Structure 1
Amino acid sequence: MLAVAVDRVKEEGLLLDYANIELEDLIRTAGVPRSTVFRIWPDRVAFVADLVRALFEADPGFDTGFDGETLQHLEQAVAGDPQAMSTPEGRQIALREALRVTVSHNMTAVEHTVAFRAYRAMSAALSSGDAVPGGAEVRALLSELEDRYLTRMAETYRGLNAAFGLRMREGLDERDLAVAIMAMVDGMSDHRRINPMVDAPRVTALGPEGPRDWHLAGIAVYGIYTTYTEAIEA
């Protein structure tokens, strides 16, 4: 049942009212006993909750916070030029390059993940003001998944701070940084659907390395990162 539903969501997405996730239809397609299905999932809401959880847990980016290629970009930036990483100025240049490359790539990669699309559909349904099947259960599920994701991202930012000689400013922690960046990326993802020019590269110089092609989200993430963190004094 879950395998059939996952394939359907990959092809069609998860509709706001879950209209394409009908238990009777899935039972026929999967060829499984009806009595067993309703013993496990008494209604469609219970099934959708397990389906969304399965979509997230099958997505490798959910465990790591980023897709594999984005993680490679980050690792390359951290392992870059040891001599440059030995100075505060060099670490800032490396940080900018890491954020410039990874955010631009991740903005595109995340849009193609089934888990992210399902998350956005369910979030949109909850915020629409309309009655959503199993609204309370859906909200609890999204809250749980988001909490797990933010925990992973906070760990990632903790590692980046250590690599780039940074610490969180007083009164803030890495989870606050994760929340702020996630909220910005979500908002930028929404806006790019209306205005595709959001994805057009902006050529600007944010440091002595000179002009570079930046995605608007990359500039925003860099602004958040440098506002929430400070250099550790030698």
Structure 2
Amino acid sequence: MPRDPSARITRTPSRRMTSVQIRRRMLDAALATIGERGMTLGFHDLQLDDVIASAGVSRSSAYRVFKSKEEFVGELLNEAASTFAEQLSDDHALRTAIRIVASRPDLHSTEDGRRRLILELIRVVLEQNFYSTIDSAAWQSFLATSAALLANDGSESLRRVAETLRRGSDRFVESMAAFHEAMARLLGFTLRDDFVGGFTLYTVLGSSMVEGLAVRHLSNPAITDNFYVGPPTLTEEPTEWAPSAIGFLAIFDKFLVADPQFDPATIDVYLTQLTWATGAGSDAH
């Protein structure tokens, strides 16, 4: 039957994606892949065509926005540095600490009891922190992004990556310093008078030790995954300590001491404040 020339074909107009939308789609697609498997140094195994297909954009559009794989990798490095730096902080440590302290009110009133609690915090939290670090695609990607700076080719893209990593690291250190200061305040410990670095340096030393062990784990897990008999915590019996916890205990013993003016009555008040602030009520009791 001949087609009526006066009939109109109704079509839904297709919206052409903008360069900004294409860029965002491609970066998000690549970041999703990295988030699942971690990032390899230099993205040698990154297939740009796979990213294009996953992003749902045309090849011609992709190359209109990114002229080459190298240009895309430069953008992706900066995005990865920003994205995975934001994922380094871990609220689980604070929830664990609240639960441990709240579970043993019988140890709150004496300096020895509070020291036992803080030793248990170090033993448990630092073990968790080490294994969450080595299992984290975010940390692996952050490490690989940082290692990319070894190229030091003076390019603008690497300069931007370095600045993004620095800002992310600053936020992580600030967050962890606040955690360590809160735990010290909660249990009546304070920095030694002759230690002027504050909780920022205390945190840098501790986190660097954990990350160093995590890097060592990549090549020789037999060394880092052993446990050792360490000092007793909540009981009189010696207990097992991970290397990361032992290392942090040495830092703690060097820089913190019990506050002779501490009032144990403040523990319940401050513990309640921390519990409400983190929404950890169900974990703390």
Within 5 Å, give how 1:53-64 maps onto structure 2.
53-57=82-86, 59=87, 62=88
8 A contact 2:35–2:138 mirrored in 1: no
**Mean CA deviation greater in 118-127 or 15-24:** 15-24
Q: 1:93 aligns with which of 116, 119, 132?
A: 116
Distance of 1:141 and 1:27 partners within structure 2: 25
Counterpart of 1:226 in structure 2 is 253
Distance of 1:6 and 1:71 partners within structure 2: 28
TM-score by length of 1: 0.84
Which protein has the larger Cα radius of gyration, Structure 1 or Structure 2? 2
Which residue identity lines up with residue 15 of structure 1 in the other structure? T
Within 5 Å, give how 1:13-32 maps onto structure 2.
13-21=38-46, 25-32=50-57
Cα deviation for residue 72 of structure 1 reads 2.9
Q: Does 1:166 align with 2:189?
A: yes
CA RMSD of aligned residues (A): 2.6
Number of residue equivalences: 225
Distance of 1:227 and 1:205 partners within structure 2: 16
Counterpart of 2:90 in structure 1 is 66
Q: Does 1:187 align with 2:215?
A: no
Distance of 1:96 and 1:169 partners within structure 2: 18
Distance of 2:180 and 2:125 partners within structure 1: 13
Q: 1:20 to 1:137 in 2, by over 3 A?
A: farther
Q: 1:153 aligns with which of 176, 181, 206?
A: 176
In the TM superposition, what whole-angstrom CA distance separates every residue of 1:47-99 from its partner, at most 9, and x where no partner exists?
A: 33123322343x3xx3xx3253x333211122232231121110100001111
Counterpart of 1:43 in structure 2 is 71
Secondary structure of 2:236 counterpart: coil
TM-score by length of 2: 0.70
Q: 1:178 aligns with which of 203, 212, 224?
A: 203
* Larger RCO (CA within 8 A; separation ≥ 6): 2
Distance of 1:124 and 1:47 partners within structure 2: 15
Counterpart of 1:34 in structure 2 is 62
Distance of 2:183 and 2:64 partners within structure 1: 48
Q: 2:227 aligns with which of 165, 179, 201?
A: 201
8 A contact 1:14–1:118 mirrored in 2: yes
